[in-house]
Structure 1
Amino acid sequence: MKIIENALTDRGSKYAVSGGPVGSVDEAKAFVKSLCRKKKFARATHNSWAVILPDGPVKNDDGESGAGMVILRMLEREDITGHIIVVTRWFGGTKLGGDRFRRVQDAVRVYLDAADCQSL
């Protein structure tokens, strides 16, 4: 599990991004559950995630409507399968509107750049 805790901030909201290899929906859910064992992540406003598995794509917005699809599209563009990416947001008090999708993209890009997506 790779975790980048201070990936970015925007108007008070803070973002982290995490990821790792998974081979099934159950493993993906276990990954998120493991991440949320850390008190900081359990208290987050959203832990949105996506993964492309042999059975097809799986995503979860965790209340951040549309965030899972943004992550999924980036995984598809990079042709990354069997690797979950979780974008965590702690709400900072100011609604970001459509910018929240750009921040999810930015967080995924931070993860992919740090992980060297060729090795995923």
Structure 2
Amino acid sequence: MAVLDTLMSNSKIARATHRIYAYRTYVTKNGKNLPLNDCADDGETGAGIKLQHLLQIMKIDNVMLVVTRWYGGVHLGADRFRHIQNKARQAITESGFWK
């Protein structure tokens, strides 16, 4: 949540209509690495879990992925999920987390 709070200090991100996120990491408890992951849609029902799945299939760990979306007056329907996924994949690739 500290990461999201920091991102929200950016006025452009704070003004976005939707802030969709997912993360995957691990915590050590009793000598075992346990998965810790979560996601949120922020009104884009199902988008967070799609980002979570993307991190899982790309085997990206210790990363929080945040995609912001602004509503521009045009209903995109199901195409919005394709756009969200494409931007998420682009961010992962360009940041060097996946080769």
Q: If the TM-score is normalised by the length of the shorter chain, which range does it land in? A: 0.7 to 0.9
User: Structure 1 residue 51: deviation in Å?
Assistant: 0.6
User: Which 5+ residue runs of structure 1 have no aligned equivalent?
Assistant: 1-28
The structure with more radius of gyration: 2
SS at match of 1:69: helix
Alignment of 1:1-120 (within 5 A): 29-54=1-26, 55-118=35-98
Give the TM-score normalised by the residue count of structure 1: 0.71
Q: Which residue of 2 aligns with 1:13?
A: none
More strand by share: 1
Aligned length: 91
Identity %: 36
Q: Work out whether residues 78 and 117 of structure 1, in 8 Å CA contact, stay in contact via their aligned partners in 2.
A: no
Q: What is the RMSD computed on CA atoms of the aligned residues?
A: 1.4
Whole-angstrom distance in 1 between the partners of 2:36 and 2:14: 27
Q: Work out whether residues 47 and 87 of structure 1, in 8 Å CA contact, stay in contact via their aligned partners in 2.
A: yes
User: Which 5+ residue runs of structure 2 have no aligned equivalent?
Assistant: 27-34
Whole-angstrom distance in 1 between the partners of 2:93 and 2:37: 22
Give the TM-score normalised by the residue count of structure 2: 0.84
Deviations 1:67-94 (A, max 9, x none): 1011111100111111000000011111
Q: Work out whether residues 51 and 75 of structure 1, in 8 Å CA contact, stay in contact via their aligned partners in 2.
A: yes
* Greater than 6 Å deviation, 4+ residue runs: none
SS at match of 1:91: coil
Whole-angstrom distance in 2 between the partners of 1:86 and 1:43: 14
